A and B are shown apart, each in its own frame.
Chain A
Amino acid sequence: MPAAADRDQRRAVLDVRGLSAGWGPMRVIHDLDLAVFSGERIGLVGLNGHGKSTLFQAIAGLTGWQRGSIKINGFEVGRIRSQGPGRYTHQIVHRGLALIPQGDEIFHGLTVEEHLDSGAFTRRAWAERGERKRRILRIFPPLEQLMKTAVGRLSGGERRMVAIGRGLMADADLFLVDEPSLGLAPKIGKSVVEALMAVDLGASAMVIAEQNVALLQGRVDRIIGMHAGKLKGEASASSRNFSAERAR
């Protein structure tokens, strides 16, 4: 585990400063700072309704309104925006974001294979999609037999695998995984989280939002708590409680 100073010298994949976001008159995120460095795997824990999903959606430009600075790979994607959620999302995604949303946003009529293809949007990812699909199948072997099946006919766990696989197809530098175990049987949820831990991040980073701290404890580089729209813990790489705990 690198020390905090060490980490500061590494490349910040995501740098959020003074972010507020919400829906209509509601303010869900309050002046939040967050830095994510390359190669990190971060757990974001917190109860329902405290803004985990809204934070991810704000980074993807999907909230009703937002203000503050969001930098992905040093490129500013946060803007003051009062309407049109999703207007710039595809550009943000092209900057290197892969958001794996809560409750699998899937294309119910596409087959698993087409689904994985749809995740490979950059030219290089599209050219290498065969190899990448094989890599996804090594992570999620059960999908092998389902490649030609419409996703709408799959079970919840299989859908979640497809949604995560779709995110992994991209050339992303930042993976945001929203509640990977939500709504799944404990055993299946655990295997999905395990698969996420097995992903070789390389220079990219991953943030996993999860309510079940036990699933993440000791397996991620840091754990950040989220409460009432604010972050607690090692949000901007200052305190080192969790990493010290992990070292033990």
Chain B
Amino acid sequence: MNWSFVVSNAITLACIYGTLAIGISVTWSSLGLVNMAYGFIFALSGYGAWLASVNISANPAIVMAAGVLTGAVGGLFVCLVAFIPIHDKPNFPLRALIATLAISLVGNQALLWYFGPRAKSLPRLFGNWNADILGVIVTSDKLGASVSAIVLLTAILLWIRSSRRGLEIRAMMMNPHAASLVGIGVRRTGFYVMALTGSLAGLAAVLLAQTYYVAPFSGITPMIKGLSIALVGGLGSVPGAIIGAVMLGVNEALTSTLLGGQYVLITQFLLIILVLLVRPRGIAGLLDKAREA
């Protein structure tokens, strides 16, 4: 039993899935949109990064920037197609769910048609070396993935906490009705949010492609994991999503070591059901000290 392997795996997975979960959570709470096309944005930005690595340069910074930018563009596309035209119509959450699901299905088929079924692999962004942290041997790709996810997430969360646009996004997350009363435009904020969460999907895609491949349907499983983490953390709560990500990351690493990789989804959903039975609002129900209006 190799504990260092379990720990390093758990942390890496937690970072990547946490990035996705925060994206899904923020989209849901500020726009009321469950973005089922998140997996498509994920796969799309993997291809964006791959194209950049083939046609422009295999420089890690360029590959990563290409992935993040493609993700932002994908997010804006989803916003234009599935948010702007229908956000003020009745039953918006349901319509948006169907619209984004359609984008996801069509988009994945389009990727399959254009790039073919063969998986692409990205260049190794973080070199090929091992680090020894407190007796735990960590490979460079895992360390690089964790560190870059944490750095970028921290930067984005700080931006949301301190900037004026961030204030608008947080206000929308807490009370969209009151937000329009203080002059915050729903559509404009929608663009910021979708570009931001899209770029998070792009980042996660580039990082996960270090251990897996870029394929037309590679976004489905990460999206399911991101969505379930967002659920377990309490939709709309960033700290909840982080704790949920750590929990499910540990679960995934433990299950695949102890039982085998095929049981991961089973134990994961058992865990989620357990948490939601005890805390129906997710982990955020424990963290939230402020009374809701």
Contacts and interface: CB of A to CB of B under 8 A. Distances in A.
B290 interface: yes
A102 to B, nearest CB: 12
Contacts of A122: 183
B252 interface: no
B184 A110 contact: no
Contacts of A158: none
Interface string A54-83: 000000101000000000000000000001
Contacts of A109: 170, 174, 288, 290
B90 A93 contact: no
Given A83-B89, A105-B293, A110-B171, A118 B182 contact: yes
B167 interface: yes
A52 interface: no
Given A107-B178, A119-B182, A152 B293 contact: yes
A100 B119 CA distance: 56
Contacts of B88: 83-87
A217 B185 CA distance: 38
Contact of A105 (B177, B184, B292): B177
Contacts of A117: 164, 167
Interface residues of A, number: 35
27 contacts: A62-B180, A84-B89, A85-B88, A86-B177, A86-B180, A87-B88, A89-B181, A90-B186, A105-B175, A105-B181, A105-B293, A106-B175, A106-B178, A107-B170, A107-B179, A108-B292, A109-B170, A109-B288, A109-B290, A110-B171, A114-B170, A117-B164, A118-B167, A119-B182, A121-B184, A170-B182, A170-B183
A55 to B, nearest CB: 15
B289 interface: yes
Residue with the greatest number of chain A CB neighbours at <10 A, chosen from B174, B181, B185: B181
B168 interface: yes
A96 to B, nearest CB: 10
B118 interface: no
A84 B164 CA distance: 26
Contact of A90 (B185, B291, B293): B185
A107 B89 contact: no
A129 B184 CA distance: 17
Contacts of B180: 62, 86, 89-90, 93
B174 A110 contact: yes
Contact of B182 (A104, A121, A152): A121
A90 to B, nearest CB: 4
A101 interface: yes
**In the complex, the 10 A-B pairs of residues with the closest C-beta atoms, listed nearest first:** A152-B290, A84-B88, A105-B178, A121-B183, A93-B183, A107-B174, A89-B180, A150-B290, A90-B185, A87-B88
A212 B89 CA distance: 37
Nearest to A151: B290
A170 B185 CA distance: 15
Residue with the greatest number of chain A CB neighbours at <10 A, chosen from B164, B168, B171, B183: B183
B181 A101 contact: yes
B219 to A, nearest CB: 31
Interface string A126-161: 100000000000000000000000111100000000
A108 B290 contact: yes
A170 B183 CA distance: 10
A153 B290 contact: yes
A70 to B, nearest CB: 16
Nearest to A152: B290
Contacts of A27: none
Given A93-B180, A108-B175, A109-B170, 4 more contacts: A106-B178, A110-B171, A117-B167, A152-B291
